Chains A and B, each alone.
Chain A
Amino acid sequence: MLLPNRKPPVVHRDLALRNLLLHKEDNSRLLVKVSDFGLARYVWKSDRSSSTGAGEE
């Protein structure tokens, strides 16, 4: 099932410590940012767990 009128979710596929960056903001708060989307893809199905890969459309 495709998802009309909505931004598709993204699978990152390469989540690891080296791809999480730490940034110190001007107010010295720390913020972690997810990085490196070279392997990331859009996901077009709303619920994979119920379809278990049966249909492609």
Chain B
Amino acid sequence: METIAKLDRSTLQELGIDKIGPLTTLERAIADMNRSSASASASASASASALATPSAEADAIATGTLLYSSDPNYGGGATTYGSAAGSGATAAASGSKDEAPIDGISPEAFVADIKIGARLGGGHFGDVYSGTWQDCIAVALKRIKAEGDKGLDEFQAELAVLMQQRHPNIVTCYGVYRRDGHLYMVLERASEGGLDSVLKALSQRWQSDLLVVQRDLCAMARDAARGMMYLAEKCVNHAQRLSLSRDLTHLMDATAQ
């Protein structure tokens, strides 16, 4: 166990992703992943032959473009996101100065100047609030119930993964905000909300024009696939693709009822 931990630590440093904070959270996340990888691999190989390659799948659904731009410049988008996150880092540390540091979250991850607005929704982890950062950037604030809560582990794991991702089709994480004993993850706010509720509304409103809806669904599916492909990079990840294709079926079924 000791040798595995050492290996993971050195690899993390080699990859340059040890800057989030103490490595304990990442090491724990990796241990979790290693435990679950054996079963995932077994099911993955069973389904491998039935699936197309990731790029073929993405190409196949990259047809509908009605409300979307024909080919948005994703490289340029990524640059913008990177600079936004960079300004977050410079505004850091002031949010945590009057409270004790939290194990696993680096002081640099904290952002300040957040206004908390209405509650947007909730989940098993806690509530999500609307907010603004520096009076101009619309953010979603994902709050865990209390700092001592079990949810902190998942919060740290999510932060460790999300802070490393920069892509237009991945929700950007600007950092962490702390107020009144609550921890908030400061996330980019998507104006229209979750696709499940959006599609439900669309299916009622656009029944008469199914072709339009299906074109947009294709573009949505393409976007989701782009995000997932960014996460997967060159790694062949069959379990994820299986899950994605199932969700795409749901997308199509949503309008057909």
Contact = CB atoms under 8 A, between A and B. Distances in A.
Given A32-B224, A51-B41, A21 B190 contact: yes
Contacts, number: 193
A34 B195 contact: no
Contacts of B219: 30
B41 A42 contact: no
Contacts of B15: 4-8
Contacts of A8: 15, 17
Nearest to A47: B236
A33 B227 contact: yes
Contact of A42 (B68, B69, B161, B247): B161
Contact of A32 (B17, B164, B227, B243): B227
B216 interface: yes
Interface residues of B, number: 75
Nearest to B247: A15
Contacts of A10: 161, 165, 231-232
A5 B250 CA distance: 37
A15 B14 contact: no
Nearest to A40: B161
A41 B123 CA distance: 20
A32 B195 contact: yes
29 contacts: A4-B11, A4-B14, A5-B15, A6-B233, A8-B17, A9-B232, A11-B239, A16-B247, A17-B199, A18-B194, A18-B196, A20-B195, A22-B190, A22-B192, A23-B190, A30-B67, A30-B216, A32-B227, A33-B170, A34-B171, A40-B158, A41-B161, A45-B37, A47-B235, A47-B236, A48-B40, A48-B235, A53-B39, A56-B4
